[in-house]
Structure 1
């Protein structure tokens, strides 16, 4: 026994000596100096021959941008498709997209961000054979997209749609009534962009003869305005349509334009009668393999009934072919895939877990392709030659991701990449190869070429070993995964302890979380900037803990959707209970437990401090929702229905309703130009705290959006939060 104690003491002294030689992570390392910059495969594109792939590169020394083509098997660069040194009149480009025949490349410059996903930009078509550069428009445009034969480009400009003919330069106008804050043609409004996650609301038919698009009439949608302070004597205002929960949404209609027949005032644009009865939102449109059949997805306002309809251009009629229902809500995805016979693949939670289904062209179920008490997390595609479906799932544990293949009939499943951690595949066009992106908590992103036949690794493309080597020079601690049992639920969690952790001491705990519906924070993957910050805090003697409560994802439909109509109730109960359980551990100081979060996580951090006043001693809330009455229709009503239908769900779980319970230290942060979670949320909470005579700290970052970044902004914010933690926890 004495020898054992001596050995342990010697090991501890040796470890402490080694630890003392390590560097300490600083906020400048994370947010200013780019110390932990990672190598990636930027804008990976599989060439149609299935043997090659393209990647966008930029040489920092020569300032030359290129699109380089690599051979899958050898990994060698075989040619350069685009180089700014070869293009007169184009010094740089930001992104690229190959045309259908891969002889032309669409290059973007001068991109200007609008909202989270939308941009305006200047675009050029570069012919890699003739080396001719053609400007698409003299104006800044949105979402330019090649026609199937590569001769035309459709794009949005000033809320209308246009078609540009590359060879002649002729422009065909598709719509005429676009007007800011009134009518939008072919480009989504704010709430569709944010919550249905798409901007391009138009699509070419397979033969290029028709262009389908969604028209948004947002004249009845209430306006929201934000002051922009800038540097001038007077501030300006940004005014845009933003439907808050329970308010009017844009009225959406679907139209089909016959290409080449411009007509007058959209006279040739057929208005599609969907005939769904339940249609309220149109979250997806996509042409099938049949050039006359347009697939349209519609949702009712509660988002618990999703219908898939086929519109036939030859008869101008629609038919509902499939309906997906749920007692809570139905998720919208991009997984609809048409096979050559116009049968289609679909994903659904109808059996309690997200799985893949195969339907015939009439919407009749042929078979369920995957099944089991686990979730399909990504659908990669279907290979007609081998009759295999490729997908990602959590079959190897809910904090991990694996890549799999299975026959269309659900048989002969193969595990292609299942090393513990996160595997994500990008398949070649002919499904011969896939590039696997892999990381874990201890291994930074590694990119390997694998055989799609059996998953066998052929070669390493990039492995970020330099980052790993550099990271190991710092004082870092492992992320320890565990499960915690609270409120009759088993929750995933992780813990980061100080490198010199001593179980005989007591440590303060800083809890991080997001907790939003279907989200996951506890994952076996390489961390980002916040994870480096957590390591820095661990260096300072804090234990970091993250818990995914009920309502988060990848543990089945019932676990995820049990928070329906009560956002913030069960998640808060779980975070409080988890903190109380942690406080029972000998090495944790139960009087010094703090919590933080951003956006939904800020909503949670506020609620946890107020409602768990005897459990949490401090909290930081960044850009929080403070009442779901202030947030948008699509997201909020998906989980809460409308405030008119569910007033108690909105009000009883709002931090504003619990300010009187505040005992600990509270830091509240927001950007004044947050178009997503409006600063109104923070102002209303501030006023409630003031009237409750509760002291707290707060900061407003002028003209910063939901991400609160730009220049030294992130460095300043994280310095502020770090100082607050050191002072209050």
Structure 2
């Protein structure tokens, strides 16, 4: 009897262990936060170089806090601000220090406008007195401390204002702002989306001048979106949106002098007819402003230095490219007024050092690899810190190098994706590491050699939790497609049997300079792919020509023909994978979102003998429908390049449809308008082609909110099972 009980208990233990290891991932778990990682929110290194701050939520008090930690001990030294102690503020969502850290700007009641822009109420918290002051009763944009901490500039109703924090007085410094006509100091829609910034104003070092860009969008065509909401009648959102080849905002650069209370237009000697100002930034000299001017084709970029006192303006760097130039935020001014600049003019993105007059001192980094982030320059040790893909294009590491380009050091030793956040004095850095099988690991490292001092967060609980699930390894490799070795990952079922055949489901994005094959921790989609692998699918991703981090030639080969070479690569990759004895070539599908939706649509149409099905979420269906800055960067205008626009747009190939096609869009998409899907639907109908589609009312380009993502991924999973999973 005793032996039977022992055997019975042993059987139960073995069975429960096997069951635990075979736990299936569900869509509900993916989208309810079951696999969420723990991180550091709004990390800020304090000026003393010995402490850092993070944003936390105190669940016990249901309050937001800014907590201060010691670098050496990683111990919390104090709570600087807690919303529990501030009667006016139930919670805040972000914070910004003044330069001397005596004041903190707290963001509350934030509401999104577009992808990067928002409105909010802001409070100034004095760290010495504990006093909290509301900036203004209005919801405002981009409030920014002056360097001396005595004033805040902000945008409101398309105008710029300055609040004196000592007197409390608010002064309006522009008056001509009108919705959908004139914007001062805040970017228009297309600048925000494609040049990735919202605050188009900047304080000088002496806090007595503000440079700003004015956008005259009077002649820009309007786009409108119906908002269905909950009321009896729908409303409309109307905004200016320049599509490819249409009129852009007319931009001008201005400098406002707070002493004279007057603004002057900045004039440069070069005659620009149709141009952009994608970046402005004051140098360390309070009288010298830097401004980047770019032609509409975006293949010429001039860096100007403008003297606000003498009105003299000089070009210090002029770059030209046969295709286009990527604008970055890497311009950094050193104490001697020389500056750091990144450029891919030698074929790869690298760091350059120029003197204050624009004379090249030296190219700091060199090689057939890309610099992916510039972190800063430490004057004490004469070292530049940066991130690059020197250790393989799917990996990223942190490096240090002397300003003259010597004594390069790799400061991270784990293969995968490393990203550093340096202390203000560059003594320490917090490294965020992950790989395809290691969740985010936060460590404290010293910057001299990169030695790891302590672990801050390791997400071990998540890794332990995932042991209960049937997880497959993400396999990285390359595949030779159309004469190029392309990066690829593949996820096979955990019980993979090479003597069997499996359906193949391919994912890609494929946009210029993008990367999806990267050695980093799971996104939500990766758990979905694991779920599909559990159900018997092989999932693969191939980064084709046009994607990033493999040099300018590889990236820019798609110039003037978006959707040609990228689609050829996906079709050929699918053919090659279909030749493998464990893949069923008759059951290959492909999906993508945004640019990826454009690609999956094209792949199904142009590769109709290869792909059995495709899912396109929020796709561009004709480049004629998309915005000017993005589209013309790669295609020039439709007036100049009509065949480039039309030959590779899926809306012009609907008659080729043979397989199963699912088209998905949100009606509130301000980026890739639902017009793309509506016109694609009409073209398919007139071609008498059957397909499926799903519209999400009032959802933007991300298609989320409430149960939306769960519904979306349920719909896509059901479609995959119905079209590819018939033999599973």
Q: TM-score, normalised by structure 1?
A: 0.96
State the match for 1:25 in structure 2: 25
Corresponding residue SS for 1:704:
coil
Cα distance in 2 for residues equivalent to 1:189 and 1:326: 26
Counterpart of 2:321 (choices 323, 326, 331) is 326
Q: Conserved in 1, the CA contact under 8 Å of 2:145 and 2:152?
A: yes
Q: Conserved in 1, the CA contact under 8 Å of 2:160 and 2:184?
A: yes
Correspondence 1:79 to 2:73:
no
Correspondence 1:711 to 2:715:
no
State the match for 2:132 in structure 1: 133
Cα distance in 2 for residues equivalent to 1:260 and 1:167: 16
Q: 1:180 to 1:576 in 2, by over 3 A?
A: same
Correspondence 1:276 to 2:276:
no
Q: Conserved in 2, the CA contact under 8 Å of 1:406 and 1:414?
A: yes
Corresponding residue SS for 2:192:
helix
Cα distance in 2 for residues equivalent to 1:43 and 1:52: 14
Cα distance in 2 for residues equivalent to 1:140 and 1:431: 37
Corresponding residue SS for 1:58:
strand
State the match for 1:111 in structure 2: 110
**1:303-357 CA distances to partner (integer Å, 9 max, x unpaired)?**
0000000000111121111101111000000000001111100000011000000
Cα distance in 2 for residues equivalent to 1:411 and 1:723: 56
Alignment of 1:170-181 (within 5 A): 170-181=169-180
Cα distance in 2 for residues equivalent to 1:57 and 1:228: 35
Corresponding residue SS for 2:439:
coil
State the match for 1:3 in structure 2: none
**C-alpha displacement at 1:23, in angstroms?**
1.1
**1:248-272 CA distances to partner (integer Å, 9 max, x unpaired)?**
000000000001433xxxxx10100
State the match for 1:122 in structure 2: 121
Alignment of 1:151-166 (within 5 A): 151-166=150-165
Cα distance in 2 for residues equivalent to 1:56 and 1:259: 34
State the match for 1:336 in structure 2: 331
Counterpart of 1:697 (choices 692, 706, 710) is 692
Cα distance in 2 for residues equivalent to 1:440 and 1:16: 29
Counterpart of 1:458 (choices 438, 453, 456) is 453
State the match for 1:576 in structure 2: 571
Structure 1, gaps ≥5 residues long: 1-13, 263-267
State the match for 2:11 in structure 1: none
Corresponding residue SS for 2:432:
strand
**C-alpha displacement at 1:640, in angstroms?**
0.3
**C-alpha displacement at 1:187, in angstroms?**
0.1
State the match for 2:216 in structure 1: 217
Alignment of 1:3-152 (within 5 A): 18=18, 21-32=21-32, 34-152=33-151
Cα distance in 1 for residues equivalent to 2:57 and 2:457: 16
**1:163-217 CA distances to partner (integer Å, 9 max, x unpaired)?**
0011211011110000000000000000000000000000000111100000000
Correspondence 1:294 to 2:294:
no
**1:278-297 CA distances to partner (integer Å, 9 max, x unpaired)?**
47100000000111100000
Correspondence 1:435 to 2:437:
no
Cα distance in 2 for residues equivalent to 1:148 and 1:339: 17
State the match for 2:668 in structure 1: 673
Cα distance in 2 for residues equivalent to 1:452 and 1:35: 35
Corresponding residue SS for 2:247:
coil
**C-alpha displacement at 1:21, in angstroms?**
4.1
Q: Conserved in 2, the CA contact under 8 Å of 1:19 and 1:475?
A: no
Structure 2, gaps ≥5 residues long: 1-13
Corresponding residue SS for 1:347:
strand
**C-alpha displacement at 1:16, in angstroms?**
13
Counterpart of 1:413 (choices 395, 408, 417) is 408
State the match for 2:487 in structure 1: 492
Cα distance in 2 for residues equivalent to 1:718 and 1:545: 18
Q: 1:726 to 1:566 in 2, by over 3 A?
A: same
Cα distance in 2 for residues equivalent to 1:60 and 1:504: 53
Q: Conserved in 1, the CA contact under 8 Å of 2:200 and 2:280?
A: yes
Counterpart of 2:589 (choices 577, 588, 594) is 594
Alignment of 1:627-642 (within 5 A): 627-642=622-637
Alignment of 1:370-389 (within 5 A): 370-389=365-384
Q: Conserved in 1, the CA contact under 8 Å of 2:601 and 2:614?
A: yes
Corresponding residue SS for 1:417:
coil
State the match for 1:228 in structure 2: 227
**C-alpha displacement at 1:91, in angstroms?**
1.4
**C-alpha displacement at 1:480, in angstroms?**
0.1
Cα distance in 2 for residues equivalent to 1:195 and 1:276: 25
Q: TM-score, normalised by structure 2?
A: 0.96
**1:572-600 CA distances to partner (integer Å, 9 max, x unpaired)?**
00000000000000000000000000000
Count matched residues. Answer: 710
**C-alpha displacement at 1:68, in angstroms?**
0.4
Q: 1:368 to 1:19 in 2, by over 3 A?
A: farther
**1:472-496 CA distances to partner (integer Å, 9 max, x unpaired)?**
2111100000100011111000000
Corresponding residue SS for 2:293:
strand
Counterpart of 1:658 (choices 653, 662, 668) is 653
State the match for 1:561 in structure 2: 556
Correspondence 1:424 to 2:419:
yes
Q: Conserved in 1, the CA contact under 8 Å of 2:20 and 2:468?
A: no
Cα distance in 1 for residues equivalent to 2:597 and 2:430: 36
**C-alpha displacement at 1:20, in angstroms?**
7.2
Cα distance in 2 for residues equivalent to 1:418 and 1:390: 15
**1:94-125 CA distances to partner (integer Å, 9 max, x unpaired)?**
11111111111100100010000000000000
State the match for 1:196 in structure 2: 195
State the match for 2:503 in structure 1: 508
**1:674-726 CA distances to partner (integer Å, 9 max, x unpaired)?**
00000000011101111111000001000000000111000000000000000
Cα distance in 1 for residues equivalent to 2:315 and 2:473: 52
**1:133-171 CA distances to partner (integer Å, 9 max, x unpaired)?**
111011000000000000100000000000001121101
State the match for 1:10 in structure 2: none
Q: Conserved in 1, the CA contact under 8 Å of 2:103 and 2:126?
A: yes
State the match for 1:522 in structure 2: 517
Q: Conserved in 2, the CA contact under 8 Å of 1:478 and 1:496?
A: yes
**C-alpha displacement at 1:470, in angstroms?**
0.9
Compute the RMSD of aligned alpha carbons.
Answer: 1.2
State the match for 1:238 in structure 2: 237
Cα distance in 2 for residues equivalent to 1:60 and 1:547: 43
Alignment of 1:245-284 (within 5 A): 245-262=244-261, 268-278=262-272, 280-284=275-279
Q: Conserved in 2, the CA contact under 8 Å of 1:510 and 1:595?
A: yes
State the match for 2:393 in structure 1: 398
Q: Conserved in 2, the CA contact under 8 Å of 1:19 and 1:500?
A: no
**C-alpha displacement at 1:59, in angstroms?**
2.0
Q: 1:15 to 1:325 in 2, by over 3 A?
A: farther
User: Does 693-702 or 53-62 show the bigger shift?
Assistant: 53-62
Q: 1:319 to 1:665 in 2, by over 3 A?
A: same
State the match for 2:10 in structure 1: none
